[in-house]
Structures are given as C-alpha cells and as structure tokens.
Structure 1
Amino acid sequence: MERMREYLSAMCTGWDVQTVRAIVADTLDHIVDPMIYDEAVTLIEQHRAAGLDIVIVSSSGAEVVEPIGAKLGADKVIATRMVVADGKYTGEISEYAYGPHKATAITALAAAEGYDLQASYAYSDSITDEPMLAAVGHPYAVNPDKALRRLAITRDWPVLDFSRPVALAERSRFREVRRPAVAAGILGTVAAVAGVLLYAARRRARPEAS
C-alpha cells in the first residue's frame, strides 16, 4: 500500500488537473472501450428496479473512475483523490480508497446519506475488500481470487461467477439513462481501471405522505 501511495504521488506531482481529465475523457471516448460483465448489467438493472443507489468504490484515481461512473449512471463515486493546489497535483494523496479505507468511506457515506448498511449490497473479486464486504448485510464474492473464495465459503457468502464480458459501448441502454441509476453489482474488468467495484446502498426510508 505504501509503495503504491508513493508511486501515485511521484507520477502525478505537478500535472495540470484539467489536462489530465481531458486526456482521460478523450481516451475513454476514442481509444479505450471499458469492459463490463453482462451479468453485472443484469444485476444493476435488478437493483435499480428495487430503488437502490449505485456507488462505485475503486482504489483507482477519481479522474478515471468518475467518467466511467458517469457512463454507468452511478449516483456517487468513492475513489483515490489527490491534493490539488493552483490547478495542479501536489503529489499528496487526500483520500486513498484501498482495503480498509473503502470500509471507512462507505460507512461515512452511509451516515451522511442515511443508508442502511445492513440492507445494502457489496460485490468484490479481491480479498483486500474483505472490510468493505463485512460492513454490509449482503456481501458477494464475484470471480473471487483464491483467498476471497476461501473466505466466502467459510463465512457462507454467496459466490458469483461472471463469464460474459462486453464492451460498455455495446450496452447502449446505459446511454439512455434519464436519471441517476440505482443499483448494485461488480463492473468486472474495466480497461484502464484496476479493481473497479460497485457498491449498492439502499436509499433512506422516506416518510409516507399523510
């Protein structure tokens, strides 16, 4: 974790924020077509129909994760964020969304938005996300690594196997979203983003009109 933090800091120091965002946007639109599992799309639609919010949780930089989240109609994004001064990255990391930090972040978000974590769903493929999975009432291991698969079996967590990757652009229905999507599911492999996850939080209960 510390080596990765140092790498991110060294790589970004001095870069102009708007330039980086423009490069990422152009790359996603014209060079890299992010991949998503078709099974994940079905999960997203099911959770959306149930009135759930989409929150993408990723250790990748917000500059990459946010555009992908926008393509998916996500309500919110939790990602690694760099400190900015005078429009440039200072090299310092303000939020590092990795491992236990993901659990801390979703707990804070739940408190701020009124989400019920015990009624929420989380999907991951990595043992590093055990804290996040353990924080919700409905954890799922999706195409898990060996360590997470063993843990899921031990804790009786459902294990899902996704096998139908599809280019995001081919799923044109995402481009027709008219309002923030509400759902849950793991995105699967996303080109240009390592370990992108999707975490679903149930909307707060609204009092019925009298």
Structure 2
Amino acid sequence: MNLTLFDLDGTLIPSDSDHAFGAFMVDIGWAEGAQWRERNDEFYHQYQAGRLDLAEYIDFATSVWRSRPLAEAHAARARFMAEVMAPMLQEQAHALVRKHAQAGDLMAIVTATNEFVTAPIAEAFGIEHLIAVQLQRDASGAYTGAIEGIPSYQTGKINRVQTWLSGLGRQWQDFERITFYSDSVNDLPLLDLVSHPVATNPTPALAKIASARAWPILNLFA
C-alpha cells in the first residue's frame, strides 16, 4: 500500500478556506466589516510569508463564532460550504483524489487550517482521514480559542502524521511510496521527508525550489 497526503488550501482547492471563512464571517455580519477583514488579510499575508503566529491567528479567527451557540455556528458553516466552498471543489481535484483512492492508497488531508472549517471539506472530497489544527474545548464542550496539542503547521505536520500513523499501527517505512501534494513553502519539512513530493499549484517560491530539486509540478487549476 502507498500513502498519499494532500495539503488543502491552494492545493485541492484554488483558494484558502481559512481566509475565505473569515471573509464569510464579515459577509454575514458576524465580524466587524472593513477593520476585521483587513486583519484577516494581514494574517493571510503572514502565512504566505511563512511567519504566521498560528496561536494568535486561531484566537482571532474563532473569536467571531465560538461564543455563539454551536448549532448556530454549524449552520453558518453549512452556508459557507454551500455558498463559498462548493464552487471551489473542482473536478480536477476530485479526479486526483479518485485516482489515489482507486489505487488503494491510504489517504489523508494534512492542513494548517482548523478542524471546524475543514471537516466538511474533507468529507466532500471523500477523504476519511483529516489531520487539521485541533481546537481546544472546555469542560462544557465550548471552543476556547486555543490550539489543542501540536498544530499541523510546518514541522508540526510531520509530528501529526507520525502520530496518526502510529494510531493506525503503521509507520513511515511501511509504505513503498509516500506522496505529498502541496502548494506552499510552509510545507517544505514534509515535502522533504516524503519519497514523492509534488508541488501542486505552487507559489512562485515553491515553484523555484521544485524546479531546482527536479520535483514534479502539477497545476490543477491552470
């Protein structure tokens, strides 16, 4: 069996679901207009530059919905999926996932976006395993705005995949081929680790590195 890992934002979808969910919070009136949108954009640019303070961002991004009744937050997320995400789930990405599923690969999405936003997206792609930033919850089950455990960001993706594999009774060396699709230099630690890195819809910085290292470059949305 082979192992196939997919980054999500910019890789399987032609946008950033975390940033888009923040913009949606403004659109539905849950976040305060221009000022909040500007701060959301600022965090996104920090992520693209590889210098995001993830804990600070998670506190900010969840602040607009975590104090609301959970059913209300889930309803807003369902609207987001239908109105914003559904048009981004393009056939090229579905076909890539199907190819690996039909080959019998063990598959997972490994993303630095939080589990609340990404769980329904992974489900829409038919990918059972999601490794996302876990959100801390208090004794009552309410989200606190903090991160639970190691975030799946940069080198943390390696730790989280290792933990996930261990939970399945597996380890890296069990697989003949390990493929990882990603668009971002934030994922260089995991791209360097796997046997078959694929720069997918790469940023200019990752495209340059991929060319220098003779990695395949896949443009799903060209």
Shared fold (TM-score, shorter chain, > 0.5)? yes
Identical residues among aligned pairs (%): 29
**3-state SS in 2 of match to 1:109:** helix
Question: Which structure is richer in relative contact order (CA contacts within 8 A, separation 6 or more)?
Answer: 1
Spell out the pairing of 1:1-210 with structure 2 (5 A cutoff). Answer: 1=51, 3-12=53-62, 15=67, 16-30=69-83, 32-85=85-138, 86-95=140-149, 96-113=151-168, 114=170, 116=174, 119-163=177-221
Q: CA 1:118 to 1:127, structure 2 compared with 1: closer, same or farther past 3 Å? A: farther
Distance in 2 (CA, whole Å) between partners of 1:17 and 1:121 is 36
Would you tell me which structure has more strand in proportion to its own residues? 1
How far off its partner does 1:34 sit? 4.5
Q: CA 1:117 to 1:151, structure 2 compared with 1: closer, same or farther past 3 Å? A: farther
Would you tell me which structure has more helix in proportion to its own residues? 2
Task: Please provide the CA RMSD for this pair.
Answer: 2.3
How far off its partner does 1:73 sit? 1.1
Q: CA 1:112 to 1:162, structure 2 compared with 1: closer, same or farther past 3 Å? A: same
How far off its partner does 1:11 sit? 4.2
Amino acid at match of 1:39: Q
How far off its partner does 1:32 sit? 4.4
How far off its partner does 1:36 sit? 3.0
| Contact 2:97 2:125 (C-alpha < 8 Å) held by counterparts | no
Distance in 2 (CA, whole Å) between partners of 1:80 and 1:17 is 18
**3-state SS in 2 of match to 1:163:** coil
| Contact 1:117 1:135 (C-alpha < 8 Å) held by counterparts | no
The answer for unaligned runs of 5 or more in structure 1 is 165-210
Amino acid at match of 2:213: R
Deviations 1:154-204 (A, max 9, x none): 22211112236xxxxxxxxxxxxxxxxxxxxxxxxxxxxxxxxxxxxxxxx
Distance in 2 (CA, whole Å) between partners of 1:130 and 1:118 is 21
Distance in 2 (CA, whole Å) between partners of 1:64 and 1:32 is 10
Distance in 1 (CA, whole Å) between partners of 2:73 and 2:152 is 19
TM-score normalised by L of structure 2: 0.65
The answer for unaligned runs of 5 or more in structure 2 is 1-50
Distance in 1 (CA, whole Å) between partners of 2:218 and 2:84 is 30
**3-state SS in 1 of match to 2:86:** coil
TM-score normalised by L of structure 1: 0.68
